[in-house]
Amino acid sequence: MEKAYFKVVGMYCISCKSVVEKQLKNESGIRRIDVDYMTDSVVVEFDASLITKEEIKDRLEKSGYNFVRTVH
């Protein structure tokens, strides 16, 4: 398993969290999604053989927010 870390631009409430999580909810390869609207961060634990970090970012951006991948 790998982790991808993102900063989110424009997420400001608890309902935003569910909008973001919904984008990856049924994706194969996604093991866990941690969204923290207080720190504008998203951590996705995933199987790199099934989905890439770029694919994750593309799907997250369908929520209407901008995501910037961070290095950890």
Please report, for the chain, the start and end positions of each structural domain, with discontinuous segments joined by +. Answer: 2-70
Q: What is the layout of strands, in order, in the sheet containing 30-36?
A: 30-36, 41-46, 2-9, 66-70
> Cα separation of 33 and 24, whole Å?
8
Cβ-contact 24, 53 below 8 angstroms: no
The pLDDT profile of the chain, 72 residues, written as one tens digit per residue, is 999 999 988 877 888 888 888 989 888 999 999 998 888 899 999 999 999 999 999 998 888 888 887 766
How many helices (H) does the chain have, and how many strands (E)? Answer: 2, 4
Question: Could you say which of 3.40.630.30, 3.40.50.300, 3.40.630.10, 3.30.70.100 is the CATH number of the domain covering 2-70?
Answer: 3.30.70.100
Global pTM? 0.85
Strand, helix or coil for residue 53: helix
Straight-line distance from the first to the last Cα atom of the chain, in angstroms, rounded to the nearest whole number: 15
